[in-house]
Every structure is written in structure tokens, then in C-alpha cells.
Amino acid sequence: AAIAWENLADITFRTKPSQRNYAPEVRGTALTSARVIIRQHGQIIRETNVAPGPFIIDDLFDTSYNGDLNVEIIEADGTSSEFTVPFAAVPESMRPGLSNYSATIGQTTQYDNDWFGEATYQQGINNNLTLNLGARTADNYLALLGGGVVAGHWGALGLNATYSNARVERGERKQGWRLGASYSRTFQPTNTTLTLAGYRHSTAGYRDMTDVLGVRDVLDDGRQWDSYSHQQRNQFTLLINQNMGRYGALYFSGSASDYYGDKQKDSQFQFGYTNNWKQVSYGLSWSRQKNTYHQTYDDPTLPDSALAGSNTVLRGDVVSLNVSFPLGSSPKSPQLNTVYTQRSGDQAGHTIQTGLSGVMGRDNTFSYALAANQDSNYGDTSWNANVQQRGSLATLSAGYAHAHDYRQYSAGVRGGLVAHKGGVTLGPYLSDTFALVHAEGAEGAMVRHGQGSRINSSGYAIVPALSAFRDNSIRIDPQGLPSYTELLETEKHVVPYAGAMLYVSFDTRFGQAILIQSELEDGNPIPLGAAVSSEQERDIGVVGQGEQVYARVQEQQGALLIRWGDDDKHTCVISYDITSEDKTQDLIQLKAPCRNSSPILHLSEAP
């Protein structure tokens, strides 16, 4: 269980499932074909491969367990670097009279299976004020939060105070406060978006739950406890986006932190400019970081009341220029991309990387990237290739890279699995709120808004992400259905609770589709809209225009009862035989009269 906790607010500003609520963008630069691991309080929340050069990961799912992200870049030659991305939610107001509450109980897996619980509550007071309350508890740990959001024409300002009381090293008890403020606003005249401006101050005795449980583990088994948040004094964060229309866009993000004790200050800043000219995209970015990675461990030579600690400092500047353009006019034309990167600090040098990337397939489900990279620190050229296949059951990826002193192979599978009474169903991924769709016999049909999901051979599919407390449309596209299956309904609407797994069933009908040109024995037309039944099932079809009778039958030969009234005078029977017809046809067309109803078949006898 993830156990970070910062603020009690989110903000909805995009429409993609992974971007429906606030989560920070992770920007960085890889020197080679690298693996990027993103952790939140020790838990891996995303792992992916990136090509050499600047990268951006902007599809992290929002989470109520907010907390700073630790980003580790593992290069192809085994070297690694790390930095942090502050994660504090922007303030959000609630409508007057509405409330939002949650309660959680869980057990940590990173530590000694410690139990913990938390509860939060939000109440909209009026158009300008929202109040927040929260509590978190574990073994010898208690944290209480109180605050609110004040909104006006000048923006939204969130204020909160958190008190903690915990038993920490060697049984010593610590208590303290953390005071936080966050602000967001879009300035309309200049189209400037201040996504987040945040400030936090903690007293020396304040402790996050993760640090308390982590340090206890250090004492129990002698492992090192690694933390960016332990005994943090102040943290300031700022994210700004400036859209300048045809003149491009600017972005800036930065954070600075200082700590109690002997830890040094952390700081990191990123500034970038992007624009397009015809089909050419280009961008310039600069980043600077200095991070102190603190490690705490038990030293038997020290007094019982003390723990040892060490600092690892990473610093450097990176300037990158990238240019990309398509090699053709087709939407699927490959994209040529060139990146020049200049580094200073611990890994000073420069790289030039040129790559080719594109998509293939009917729905652009297959993507590829090829690149060559020249690095001044290595003196030779490295090569790398990555492919990815996005399917209805999972996303598969593979990569290869080599230089004169290393070879790297990578493979990955990302997907979701749901076990239920009907079996096991795979999907592209799973969010905390999703749906299991059942449409018997509809194998191969695509589920719209299902991120590529299709009905499997057992009649199930997964819609991996739904919006909680909102109307969600779940629709099955009849295109691709087997010829023997008909959907009686193609769309349903659901409004799920947060964290719910919904079961959504669609009615289907089976059999061979037939279209019979018919008329009554006296030559009169069969009334339009008359109901069609068989000996096995009611309402298997209808009479359409031009006396065409449509039905889906399960038997090769039999009789259909046509009814347009309440008595036998308003019925007739059509006999059909398709034993000699080509069953590969989606629709078999016949011609047969509709004779007066006989005792052989009556509607009351149909099940």
C-alpha cells in the first residue's frame, strides 16, 4: 500500500483517463537508451524505457496518496542518476453545501506489514470557502490535518496545518507541525497558467509516517533508510506555463528544499521553449539540479540515542536543443528527430542523437523508434531500437542498444488482470475505478473508450478507467461481431463510486440472420412492424418495409410466427429451410408465403 499524504485536494483539467486529475509531469534527459523508474515513497508507480535525449512522462495517474516522486534513470551501461519531482495537489474548491469524504485502512508492504488508517473530509461552506479535515494513524503515530481553500477572482489559495506525534528513534517521542500553502490561477489577459505555487514549512519534531516507519525498520534489521523528505524544513515549488499562440510556448518548473541537521539544500529548475514552423517542431530546454540523497542507518559504535547518516550530492546543468519533422505527407510518415545536449557538472560532456520513429497498423497500435547516439564521454557511437505493440490485452515493448563496451536488451509487458466468476479477463491496464463488460457471443467486438479493449472468446472485456461520480458511456461497436451474434443493445450509462469495479452486461441474440420476402395468402401485405417469434424464442425479429421479414434463427429449418394483433386472425406462419444455403453469408435471403396460423405454432407455446 502506498502511504504518502500531503494535501486533500485535486484538480480536473484534462480529459484523458490518466490525466483527469492533477499529477506532475516528469521531465529529464537520458544519455543512452535508458530505463526510467518512478517511485513514490518507495513504491514503484511507473517504469518505462526511453530513447537518448530529453523525455517527458505525462500520463501518471492521479492519486490521493500524494507525495514527492523519486525518479531514477538507469543508463544502458549501468550508471544511474536520481532526482525528485515535488508532488503536492493544487487547491480545489467545492460547491456550497456539498461534501467529500473518504476512509482507508490498509497494511504497508514496504515495512513490517504495519497497519494504518486515514480519513478525510471536505465541506463547501460558500462560493469562496472550502474546509478540509484529515487524520492518519498507525502504531505509535498520529497526524491530524486542518485547513481549507479560499477562492476568488485572484485564484485559489489552499492553506493547511498538520500536527504529528510519533515514537521515533530509540523510543524517543517527537511532535511538531507542518504548515502548507498552495496557489493556482490562469491569468486570462496573458493566457498564463500558474499550475502550482506551493510552500511548506515543518518544525524539527514533525515526521511523515513513511519516515517514522522507515527509520524503525533501520533499527530492526540494520538496513539503510533512504529519504528525500526526512527532517525537511522548507520546500517551495513553482510551475508556470505561458502559451504565446503562433510564437510558441514557454514552461518553467522549479523547487528548492532545505533540511534540519547536516543535510544540504536541494534545488532543481527546468525552463523550456517549444514551437512549430509548418511541419517542423523545435524546442530548447535548460535544467539545473542539485540533490542531496540522505541515507540513515544504525551504527553500533554510536550511543543508543543516535543514528548515523550520510549525504550523496548530485549536481549538474543540462541544455538541450531538439528539432523534428516528418519524412512525407502521410499521417503515418516516420518522424526524424535530432537532439543536441550539453552537460556540465558531475557528468560534463555533450551528446548528439538522431532518431527515426513512427507508427504502423490499422489503429496505429504498433510504434517503433531507431536512434544513433554520439557521446563525447565515450568517444564512439551507440545504437538503439525500441518497438511497442499496444493490444487489447496488454502493451508489449522490446528494446535493444549497444556500444563498444555494452549491450542492452529490454522487454516489458504492461496490462491488467481481473478474476471473476466467469473466468479471468486481461486488459491494457487498470485504474482504481473500472468496468468488466459482458456480451455473450460478441467475440472480437471493440469496446469504445476501452483503450483498445475487445470482447474475448468468453464474452468479456475490460474498460480500464471510469470517472467516479460521473456519467460514463460504455458502448460496444457492432463492427467485428461474428455473423451469428446480434447485439440487442449497444450502449449503457453508469455512474460509479470511487474505487468501484462495475459489472456491465449487454444482451445478445444468436443464430443465422435471414431476410424473407413474403406476403399473406390473400395477396395482402404483412403489416409493418409485426413481431416475429420462433418455436424456441419470442421476438427474434420484425417485419420491415416492403414485406421483408427479418429474423435470427437457431434451427436450420422450422416455422416463424408473425403476429400483429391479439388473436389468431392477426397471425400467420412462414416455413423456412436453409439447410442447403451457404452459411458463410452474413444474411441469407429467401422468399416464402405467410400462411394462416395453424395449431402447430402459437405464440403462447413459444418460451
Same domain, residue pair 385 and 443:
no
Same domain, residue pair 106 and 219:
yes
How many of the other CB atoms lie within 10 Å of CB of 489? 12
Q: Which of 446, 391, 386 is nearest to 416 (CA)?
A: 391
Residue 212 · residue 225 · CB < 8 Å: no
Same domain, residue pair 194 and 342:
yes
- What gap in Å lies between CA 35 and CA 71, rounded to an integer? 10
Which domain-ending residue is among 414, 430, 458?
414
Same domain, residue pair 177 and 253:
yes
For residue 577 the three cell numbers come to 429451410
For residue 73 the three cell numbers come to 534513470
Q: Which of 572, 563, 576, 491 is nearest to 529 (CA)?
A: 563
CA 208 to mean position of chain CA atoms:
27
Mean pLDDT for all residues in the chain: 79
Which domain-ending residue is among 85, 116, 144?
85
Give the CATH number of the domain where residue 348 resides: 2.40.160.40
pLDDT of residue 436: 92
Give the CATH number of the domain where residue 467 resides: 2.60.40.2610
Same domain, residue pair 371 and 435:
no
For residue 135 the three cell numbers come to 487524520
- Quick check: is 8 in a domain? no
Sequence-separated (6 or more) residues with CB below 8 Å from residue 241: 192, 193, 195, 249, 250, 251
Q: Which of 531, 25, 97, 51 is nearest to 241 (CA)?
A: 25
Same domain, residue pair 504 and 517:
no
Same domain, residue pair 409 and 459:
no
- Quick check: is 591 in a domain? yes
What is the three-class DSSP state of 462? Answer: strand
Cα–Cα distances (Å) from 440 to 156, 445, 568, in that order, read 49, 11, 35
For residue 490 the three cell numbers come to 449497444
Same domain, residue pair 255 and 384:
yes
Same domain, residue pair 462 and 586:
no
How many of the other CB atoms lie within 10 Å of CB of 470? 12
Q: How large a percentage of the chain has pLDDT more than 70?
A: 82
Q: Which residue has the cell 538507469?
A: 74
Residue 13 · residue 76 · CB < 8 Å: no
- Quick check: is 5 in a domain? no
Q: Which of 172, 302, 299 is nearest to 225 (CA)?
A: 299
Which residues of the chain fall short of a pLDDT of 70? 1-24, 31, 41-42, 53, 61-67, 77, 86-91, 110-112, 170, 195, 220-228, 262-264, 291-315, 346-347, 378, 597-607
- Quick check: is 240 in a domain? yes
* pLDDT tens, residue by residue, 120-152: 999 999 888 999 999 999 988 999 999 998 887
Cα–Cα distances (Å) from 356 to 51, 132, 371, in that order, read 11, 50, 6
Residue 360 · residue 332 · CB < 8 Å: yes
Same domain, residue pair 238 and 111:
yes
- Which residues in 327-422 belong to E strands, given as ranges? 335-345, 349-360, 366-375, 381-390, 394-403, 406-420
- What gap in Å lies between CA 57 and CA 202, rounded to an integer? 30
- What gap in Å lies between CA 194 and CA 85, rounded to an integer? 17
Residue 419 · residue 433 · CB < 8 Å: no
- Quick check: is 427 in a domain? yes
- Quick check: is 11 in a domain? no
pLDDT of residue 498: 82
- What gap in Å lies between CA 397 and CA 368, rounded to an integer? 10
pLDDT of residue 346: 66
Q: Which residue has the cell 420462433?
A: 534
pLDDT of residue 232: 82
Report the domain count for the chain.
Answer: 4
Q: Which residue has the cell 413459444?
A: 606
- Which residues in 406-547 belong to E strands, given as ranges? 406-420, 423-427, 434-438, 446-448, 460-463, 472-477, 485-487, 491-494, 501-505, 508-510, 512-517, 531-534, 541-543
- Quick check: is 47 in a domain? yes
pLDDT of residue 163: 95
Cα–Cα distances (Å) from 232 to 206, 264, 265, in that order, read 9, 10, 10
* pLDDT tens, residue by residue, 428-473: 888 888 999 999 888 888 888 777 788 888 889 998 888 888 888 8
Same domain, residue pair 448 and 521:
no
- Which residues in 278-365 belong to E strands, given as ranges? 280-297, 308-326, 335-345, 349-360
For residue 322 the three cell numbers come to 531538439
pLDDT of residue 366: 86
CB < 8 Å & 24+ apart, contacts of 449-454: 449/473, 449/474, 449/475, 450/392, 450/474, 451/17, 451/427, 452/363, 452/365, 452/390, 452/391, 452/392, 452/428, 453/392, 453/427, 453/428, 454/392, 454/480
* pLDDT tens, residue by residue, 258-290: 888 766 677 888 889 999 988 899 999 888 877
Give the CATH number of the domain where residue 559 resides: 2.60.40.2070
- Which strands, in side-by-side order, build the sheet including 80-85? 43-50, 34-40, 69-74, 80-85
Q: Which of 480, 484, 452 is nearest to 465 (CA)?
A: 452
CA 220 to mean position of chain CA atoms:
37
- Quick check: is 9 in a domain? no
Sequence-separated (6 or more) residues with CB below 8 Å from residue 316: 288, 289, 343, 344, 345, 346, 347, 348
Q: Range of 76's domain?
A: 17-85
pLDDT of residue 311: 57
Element (H, E) at 216: helix 209-221
Same domain, residue pair 212 and 322:
yes
Which residues lie across from 285 on neighbouring strands? 272, 320
